[in-house]
Amino acid sequence: MTGALTLYHAPPSTCSQKVRLALAEKELAYQLQVIDLSAGGQHDPDYVKLNPNHVVPTLVHEGRPIIESMLICEYLEDAFPEIALMPQDAAGRHAVRLWTQYVDRVHAHAAVLTFAVGPRKMIVSQGQAGIEANVASVHGKKGQAARRIALEQGVASPLFGEALAAFVAMLDRMEGSLQSSPWLADDGFTLADVAALPYVLRLDHLSMTPLIEARPKLADWFARVAARPSYGPAITHHVVPPLVAMLKANGAEVWPEIGALLKVA
């Protein structure tokens, strides 16, 4: 018996993807509740009681809220160890945690990378009111300032350049690691792979696919993750074709500018 599991998530959000992947890999049944981030659902007082950080995801297990996506994944590993996503030995577990900690730092750049490219055109087309509403939906002054820059300046902003550099460094690190083992931290699929997948996928969804294709081991890893049985229920089912098409089209439009930035870097 697993006890009731409910995941509060936003379908395309990177952190929600991680937890859905871990749940699917562990073959756990769960209920879903969508939090609409653009409508400020993360600030609803009832949701904030579950997640005082005003972010998704939150897992509720037998009435207890569990927050922070990678800590949720580790919680699932502790509570439901039958299908393991962590190595058994201390060194292997440390290797996974080095990856998840690193990827958490890359996550700090994900919103700028996404909003400077993907939904920017649609939000900006709504005029200043659209920009203000989107900025206001973000929790905290720092996040709001970054969102404003991403929307107003797009890929021309230095913040976008920083985000791009952080993502490219992650891809290089992955390519290096995958030279010696099929998965990021171990011979088997672990929470390290769960942690990294959403960010590689985000690059693909923003038409930055050449960055993946230029790294053969990474490209092979990406294809192997997408071929796992967990991928459909955890990812494709939620990150739906119209959204992906919009992101890809907007990404393709600015790819020449991004390519130019990469040549300078």
How near is the Cβ of 191 to ligand GSH at its closest, in Å? Answer: 12
Q: Does residue 42 bind ligand GSH (CB under 6 A)?
A: yes
Q: Which stretch binds ligand GSH (CB under 6 A): 54-62, 160-168, 173-181, 205-213?
A: 54-62
By CB under 6 A, is residue 209 in contact with ligand GSH? no
Q: Check residue 139 for interaction with ligand GSH (CB under 6 A).
A: yes
Q: What is the 8-class DSSP label of residue 232?
A: I
Q: Does 208 bind ligand GSH (CB under 6 A)?
A: no
Cis peptide before 57 (omega within 30 of 0): yes
Identified binder of ligand GSH from the candidate list 7, 15, 85, 258, rule CB under 6 A? 15
Say how far apart CA 200 and CA 225 lie, in whole Å. Answer: 11
β-strand 31-34 against 58-61: which pairing, if any?
unpaired
Instruction: Kindly state the tokens that stand for 215.
Output: 């790294």
Phi and psi at residue 136, to the nearest 5°? -65, -25
**146 lies in the binding site for ligand GSH (CB under 6 A):** no
With beta carbons less than 8 A apart as the criterion, state whether 39 and 134 touch: no
Residue with Cβ nearer ligand GSH (22 or 178): 22
Our CB check for ligand GSH shows the closer of 178 and 235 to be 235
Segment interacting with ligand GSH (CB under 6 A) among 10-18, 77-85, 160-168, 204-212: 10-18
Q: At what angle do helices 90-107 and 69-79 cross, to 10 degrees?
A: 150
Q: Is 96 in the site for ligand GSH (CB under 6 A)?
A: no
Nearest alpha-carbon partner for 102 in 28, 26, 172, 204: 172
Cross-strand partners of 32: 7
Question: Per rule CB under 6 A, is residue 143 in the interface with ligand GSH?
Answer: yes
Which residues would be at the binding site for ligand GSH (CB under 6 A)? 10, 13-15, 37, 42, 54-56, 68-70, 137-139, 143
